[in-house]
Structure 1
Amino acid sequence: MSAVDKLAEALRGNGLTEGGVRAMARAAVRPDDMRRRLADPAELRVQGGTLLIAETRLWSATVVPHPANPREYGHRQYALGAAGTQRPLLIEPRSAPYGTAELEMRAETPSRVAQRLEDAKSRLVRDNPLAQDIAVEGVLQPLTVVPLTAVHENGHPDCALLIAADGSSRISAVHELLGYEPSRIAYEWGADDRKLRGEISRWVRLVRKQGWPGLTEDERCKVRTLSVPARVVIGFRPNAQAGQAFHTAVRNFIGLTHIRPPRPYGPAVENEAKADAVLDSLAESGRSTMAHITEAEKHWFSGTISPEDVEAAGLSGELDIRAGEIVRSLLGGGVRTTRRVNEGIRSLTAKQRPKREERVDVAVELILRPVRTGLSDDVKFVRPRRAVLQRAYRLPEIEDLSADVQWEGAGADGRALKELRDAALAEADQGLGDSGRLGPAQTELAVKAAYHMAMAEPMALQREVFGGGEDEDDRVAATVLRAMLSRRRGILQAYEVVRAGRAGEDLREVDEGGNPLVTAEGRPRILTDALVRHTYSGGPVPLEDSRVGGKAASVSWACVRESVDRLRRDVDGMAGVPVEEGGPSFVAQEGWDPTQVKEVREALDRVSRRIAGWADRAEERAETVAAES
């Protein structure tokens, strides 16, 4: 409390009102640190003047969202449109009449302010949910905090608040994690220092008593968010020519941050940045974990190594082998790899659970680095190939690729590729692929063939067709690859694709024996996306003459799996339809007609029961065979 009193005295020297002084002094996690920063405040230029700020940490229980947050503009109600004599819920904050760097807001009663704070939090949590991401690392970027005094027209004492001029979504997410109500922060803890200190002390005591290892994950999430980094506005220096008021400068700052922010990097650049962070994570060894890739592999994957140095390091110069190793290292290896890759993504985005699609996009961006060199402006070349590889490498079987099994490494010759082909043929003969899951050799060959099919001109593998007719093949690239690598002819085709791609030759279609097909004029048939999709349709009629027995049934089962995958994608697509541009999910907010949902669920239930019976029959057969043997 002595440090708080000294900070309050220093704040009074800055000309702040007593309410602003008290709100800031009690909010500082380190009052002594904030007091030192008052002597040399940082400057933040905005249109109309310069904000003077002190960067420090504040207790989360002392900061509330902006009660008139601009994110809600589209949902506000105004007096002019209100019926009868209904008054607006709240008016915009204005500059305090004392000439200080403070805001003032007038309201009828404390309940109006309290309700407005709760409404702001509720909408921000719903429209911009950040709680799960913030729970991982806490708030990383500082909030811009401004003192505001709520003046009540019914004579109730004024209420001094600290509001997030920038960062209302983040502080609302923090309050959601901690179970805080902004109205309680403003009118209960704001009026009683003992209650505020009691709330903070109970967490401090818990950490001291149990230690960090003794806390549950939920408790750790809350401890991480007990305080937030902040840029506290302690002064304002207007431009002499502009003569703008403080509240205008704050509004200009919010506009620069949200309405006219810097131009976004774009997905490709963002994935590039994530890729470097992921490689750093994979190349680092922890106290209990070994590095996932070597330093040489890190430079190989990042593309920051010359072809001569690649050979000297004992790595492969074939770009499809590099693509395969990137895919294996970033997407294969199961949960352990996923955790390491997610750590790298979180270091830039603070996302708690990055999706698999995001990891795939990062891997593809690394794969494209040497391809893009010299083609930076050739969007027509790079963009469709990026899209195809992003879809192709979402093949679920890739997750099962082991980092320890490497068919082709440094100095690999044609024999290694043939061995990979033969292993894939053996897996196909065992029914792998038809069962809905490719084997590891089939998967690795699919990864390498997909690279060359995407890079070819014309492209031998393209993205699915949207909005086409009933005859259009709208299968995603991963599904086409599975259908292709499930057939002996498709495996021989994939082998030929990789061989020709490495030799710089055109990709040609092959027959059942792997021999190049020719046109009526005697020219080789160039492989195209249309030919691939037609030949490996994934339909119930296989290339081989299999109409009865287990082989034919396994092909039909592959169709069932494909239908289930498509249903899952369609459900995800419907869940992703927003209420409005940039808004939350329509069905998550509005739901869907119960009668229609019931009809679909009953149909799915009937199908589920039917195929469950097949599993039961298989188990009975297996038990009978075991008993007889």
Structure 2
Amino acid sequence: MPRITAVDKLADALFGKGLSEEAAESLARAAVQPEDMRRKLADVNNLRVQGGTIHIVETRLWSAAVVPHPANPREYGRRSYALGGASAALRILPMPEPAPGGGPELQIRVPHPNDLAHRLDDAKARLVKENPLDNDIAAEGVLQPLMVVPMMVCYDNSPNRPPTLLITADGSSRISAVHQLLGYRPSLLAYELADNTRKFRQEINRWIRLVQKQGWDSLSAADQGKLRALTVPARVVVGFVPDARAGVRFHTAVRNFIGLTHIRPPRPYASAVESEAKGDAVLDSLAEPTRSRNARITSQEKRWFAGVITEQEAAEEGFSPHQDVRAAEIIRTVLGGGTGTARRVNEGIRSLTAQQRPKREDRVDIAVELILRPVRTAKNDVPPYVRPRRAVLQRAYRLPEIEELPADALLEGAPDGGRSLEELRDAALKEAAEGLGAGGRLGVAQTELAVKATFYMVTADTMALQTEGSGAARAEDSRSAVGVLRAMLSRQRGVIQAYEVVRAGRLGRPLHEVDEDGAPIYTDGGGYRELTDALVRHTYNGEALTEAVVGLPAARAHWATVTKSVDNLRQAVSAMKSVPAYEGGGSLIKREGWDPPEIEKARRYLDKVSRTLADWADWYNAQNDEERQSADVDAMDALDV
């Protein structure tokens, strides 16, 4: 906590800037570093708004000193007006006016303290419900500064001393989320802490002592999230100079600022631009080592993925000249490698958006935008070409098997060697022969080949893979791109076709259909039959393979069903756990549990299945042990001879 003498000196400096004594004391008490704020008063920042210039100082404030705007304009459209018969408890408060004295302060007149207390708490409740930011703030704290303005409260009929509050002219959603994390009611902050320095400092010290006693690393994740919200960055308004001819008063200037921020804000970025910006942030995160982890990619890989080096420079660094290899490397790096990679990618997304739990779809969109950078450049960013291809790649690369791609080098095309494209094809053929993908999940080689073939099937002039539900040719085939790819790579012919697609794509040739042996299929006119989306969907219609009824392929198909069922069970349990007890409430299960007889019945079934699977593993180990022992005996016999 800052020293009282430092707080008093800041209050004197603020009073000298033209603020009232009450506003100066409130701001000084709220400052986390009063000495720093006092130095900045000598060189304030100027913020131009319609009708004048607002003087601001950027600093950090204690969250317990700031409350949401009690007459928040966000509530326009659903306000209850007295003229319409609204009860006194529901009526809106008047908009603030300039405080007397001409300083950079607002004044709001309310009938009674209860009216203000109700409006503060109601504003927080509405904002937390409609714009929930508490999870994001718990992860990173408040990143963008709040615009904070002193506001004097005047009562029509009350013996209470009116407080001077620090309200958010912009940022009420953020401060409400902070109060939600810390368990604060704005009304209590306004009436119990605003004018009571001793109570205010005790509240802050409570959190400081917690860190000092336990240490940051020993705190729970929930307490760490609360401590990140203990202070907020702020632009504190300390002055206002109206334009000479405009005659704008201070409250109008504040309202104009709110309008520029929320009513006429800058035009938002397009979704593709957002994905591009996030892509660079993700690459930065992957290329930076942390205290516990090495960098995920090298600086050279970062430049290759970002598309900022020439083809010649990429070749000199040892990178593949083929765009499908680059695409597959990006996919593996951003989407593969399990939770470890996802965590690093999410850190990059959060650094730009403060989004606590980015979805897998967010990561896919980022990977696709990085992949498309050279493609868009080659096509001069022609929207009719780029947009549909972006959409299909985003859908196709949601293939769940991609997450299981190994985090180490790819099977084919890696700078340090690896398999040839033919060896990748043969590995995928082996997986297909074993039944992988037939009603279940593709193997690693099948998945890698699917990723590479998809790139050319989508970016070809005639797209051989499109989105579901569009076009007369797919009137009876509503399968997603993922479903079509899985059906294709599950069959020998589909693996051969994917291999030929990659070969043709690397040579810059049109894509054509091939048979089971890879031989081209000709049209009646004697030319190659062009590979189209309709042709792919017709050839690989997703019907179950009927030939695999015995042996390992059939067993593989059933095992895929088993693993899918286990995954579905896990998701169902997670979904049930997240069911709220009431709208906006916590988990029903955590609050009330579940019927023990039903739980016991389910556990008996699960225990039986678990014992069965354990038996299978024991049989497998026993069989392999016998084979190893037999091999050892044969080797010993050979030595004796």
TM range (shorter): 0.7 to 0.9
Name the counterpart of 1:288.
292
The one of 248, 251, 264 equivalent to 1:260 is 264
Name the counterpart of 2:359.
355
Name the counterpart of 2:433.
429
Name the counterpart of 1:26.
29
- Three-state SS of the structure 2 residue aligned to 1:75 is coil
Name the counterpart of 1:41.
44
Task: For residue 87 of structure 1, report the CA deviation from its aligned partner.
Answer: 7.9
* CA spacing shift, 1:588–1:521, aligned 2, 3 Å: farther
Name the counterpart of 2:212.
208
Question: For the residues of structure 2 that align with 1:506 and 1:234, how far apart are their CA atoms?
Answer: 67
- Which segment drifts farther, 360-369 or 400-409? 400-409
Letter of the 1:267 counterpart = S
Conserved? CA contact 1:166–1:254, under 8 Å: yes
Conserved? CA contact 1:89–1:112, under 8 Å: no
Name the counterpart of 1:65.
68
Name the counterpart of 2:104.
101
- Which segment drifts farther, 13-22 or 232-241? 13-22
Deviation per residue, 1:478-522 (Å, 9 max, x gap):
222111111111111100110111111111112222222222333
Conserved? CA contact 1:96–1:102, under 8 Å: yes
- Which segment drifts farther, 445-454 or 75-84? 75-84
* CA spacing shift, 1:498–1:412, aligned 2, 3 Å: farther
Conserved? CA contact 2:435–2:548, under 8 Å: no
Conserved? CA contact 2:438–2:557, under 8 Å: yes
Name the counterpart of 2:56.
53
Answering whether residue 540 of structure 2 is matched by residue 536 of structure 1, we say: yes
Answering whether residue 126 of structure 2 is matched by residue 123 of structure 1, we say: yes
- Three-state SS of the structure 1 residue aligned to 2:107 is strand
Question: For the residues of structure 2 that align with 1:27 and 1:537, how far apart are their CA atoms?
Answer: 67
- Three-state SS of the structure 2 residue aligned to 1:505 is coil
Task: For residue 324 of structure 1, report the CA deviation from its aligned partner.
Answer: 0.7
Name the counterpart of 1:331.
335
Task: For residue 548 of structure 1, report the CA deviation from its aligned partner.
Answer: 8.1
Question: For the residues of structure 2 that align with 1:610 and 1:495, how far apart are their CA atoms?
Answer: 44
* CA spacing shift, 1:355–1:18, aligned 2, 3 Å: same
Question: For the residues of structure 2 that align with 1:471 and 1:304, how far apart are their CA atoms?
Answer: 42
Name the counterpart of 1:113.
116
Q: Please, which runs of 5 or more residues in structure 2 have no aligned partner?
A: 575-579, 586-600, 627-641
Question: For the residues of structure 2 that align with 1:534 and 1:562, how far apart are their CA atoms?
Answer: 26
Percent identity of equivalent pairs: 60
Task: For residue 545 of structure 1, report the CA deviation from its aligned partner.
Answer: 4.6
- Three-state SS of the structure 1 residue aligned to 2:291 is coil
Answering whether residue 451 of structure 2 is matched by residue 447 of structure 1, we say: yes
* CA spacing shift, 1:508–1:556, aligned 2, 3 Å: farther
Question: For the residues of structure 1 that align with 2:618 and 2:140, how far apart are their CA atoms?
Answer: 51
Deviation per residue, 1:88-123 (Å, 9 max, x gap):
331111221322211111111111111111111111
Name the counterpart of 1:251.
255
Question: For the residues of structure 1 that align with 2:612 and 2:277, how far apart are their CA atoms?
Answer: 52
The one of 481, 492, 498 equivalent to 1:494 is 498
- Which segment drifts farther, 555-564 or 125-134? 555-564
Name the counterpart of 2:350.
346
Name the counterpart of 1:582.
none
Conserved? CA contact 1:435–1:557, under 8 Å: no
Question: For the residues of structure 1 that align with 2:454 and 2:583, how far apart are their CA atoms?
Answer: 36
Question: For the residues of structure 2 that align with 1:407 and 1:150, how far apart are their CA atoms?
Answer: 69
Cα RMSD, aligned residues only: 3.5
Name the counterpart of 1:160.
164
Answering whether residue 279 of structure 2 is matched by residue 270 of structure 1, we say: no
Task: For residue 18 of structure 1, report the CA deviation from its aligned partner.
Answer: 2.4
Matched residue count: 601
* CA spacing shift, 1:568–1:478, aligned 2, 3 Å: farther
Answering whether residue 447 of structure 2 is matched by residue 438 of structure 1, we say: no
Letter of the 1:63 counterpart = V
- Three-state SS of the structure 2 residue aligned to 1:19 is helix
Question: For the residues of structure 2 that align with 1:287 and 1:565, how far apart are their CA atoms?
Answer: 33
Conserved? CA contact 1:79–1:86, under 8 Å: no
Letter of the 1:19 counterpart = E
Name the counterpart of 1:134.
137
- Three-state SS of the structure 1 residue aligned to 2:420 is helix
Answering whether residue 184 of structure 2 is matched by residue 180 of structure 1, we say: yes
Name the counterpart of 1:76.
79
Task: For residue 276 of structure 1, report the CA deviation from its aligned partner.
Answer: 1.2
Question: For the residues of structure 1 that align with 2:407 and 2:331, how far apart are their CA atoms?
Answer: 10
Conserved? CA contact 1:391–1:478, under 8 Å: yes
Task: For residue 426 of structure 1, report the CA deviation from its aligned partner.
Answer: 0.5
Deviation per residue, 1:251-291 (Å, 9 max, x gap):
11011011111111211111111111111221222333222
Name the counterpart of 2:528.
524
Name the counterpart of 2:13.
10
* CA spacing shift, 1:500–1:56, aligned 2, 3 Å: same
Question: For the residues of structure 2 that align with 1:476 and 1:566, how far apart are their CA atoms?
Answer: 19
Letter of the 1:463 counterpart = T
Conserved? CA contact 2:432–2:490, under 8 Å: yes
Conserved? CA contact 2:435–2:557, under 8 Å: no
Q: Please, which runs of 5 or more residues in structure 1 have no aligned partner?
A: 573-584, 591-605
- Which segment drifts farther, 288-297 or 365-374? 288-297
- Three-state SS of the structure 2 residue aligned to 1:341 is helix
Name the counterpart of 1:594.
none
Task: For residue 448 of structure 1, report the CA deviation from its aligned partner.
Answer: 0.1
- Three-state SS of the structure 2 residue aligned to 1:74 is coil
* CA spacing shift, 1:334–1:86, aligned 2, 3 Å: closer
Conserved? CA contact 1:518–1:524, under 8 Å: yes
* CA spacing shift, 1:530–1:306, aligned 2, 3 Å: same
Question: For the residues of structure 2 that align with 1:415 and 1:22, how far apart are their CA atoms?
Answer: 71
- Three-state SS of the structure 2 residue aligned to 1:475 is coil
* CA spacing shift, 1:27–1:412, aligned 2, 3 Å: closer
The one of 305, 309, 314 equivalent to 1:305 is 309
Letter of the 1:258 counterpart = H
Name the counterpart of 2:389.
385
Answering whether residue 476 of structure 2 is matched by residue 472 of structure 1, we say: yes
Task: For residue 127 of structure 1, report the CA deviation from its aligned partner.
Answer: 1.0
Letter of the 2:490 counterpart = S
- Three-state SS of the structure 2 residue aligned to 1:64 is strand
* CA spacing shift, 1:80–1:556, aligned 2, 3 Å: farther
- Which segment drifts farther, 44-53 or 346-355? 346-355
- Three-state SS of the structure 2 residue aligned to 1:55 is strand
Question: For the residues of structure 2 that align with 1:16 and 1:467, how far apart are their CA atoms?
Answer: 67
Conserved? CA contact 2:89–2:115, under 8 Å: no
Within 5 Å, give how 1:410-421 maps onto structure 2. Answer: 416-421=420-425
Question: For the residues of structure 2 that align with 1:549 and 1:404, how far apart are their CA atoms?
Answer: 32
Question: For the residues of structure 2 that align with 1:468 and 1:190, how far apart are their CA atoms?
Answer: 67
- Three-state SS of the structure 2 residue aligned to 1:373 is helix
Question: For the residues of structure 1 that align with 2:85 and 2:424, how far apart are their CA atoms?
Answer: 73
* CA spacing shift, 1:616–1:534, aligned 2, 3 Å: farther
- Three-state SS of the structure 1 residue aligned to 2:199 is helix
Conserved? CA contact 1:281–1:344, under 8 Å: yes
Question: For the residues of structure 1 that align with 2:318 and 2:88, how far apart are their CA atoms?
Answer: 81
Name the counterpart of 1:225.
229
Question: For the residues of structure 2 that align with 1:379 and 1:339, how far apart are their CA atoms?
Answer: 33
- Which segment drifts farther, 307-316 or 15-24? 15-24
Letter of the 1:38 counterpart = L
- Which segment drifts farther, 202-211 or 464-473? 464-473
Question: For the residues of structure 1 that align with 2:32 and 2:374, how far apart are their CA atoms?
Answer: 49
* CA spacing shift, 1:413–1:132, aligned 2, 3 Å: closer
Name the counterpart of 2:592.
none
Name the counterpart of 2:375.
371
Name the counterpart of 1:199.
203
- State the 4+ residue runs in structure 1 displaced beyond 4 angstroms: 83-87, 410-415, 466-471, 544-569, 587-590, 606-629
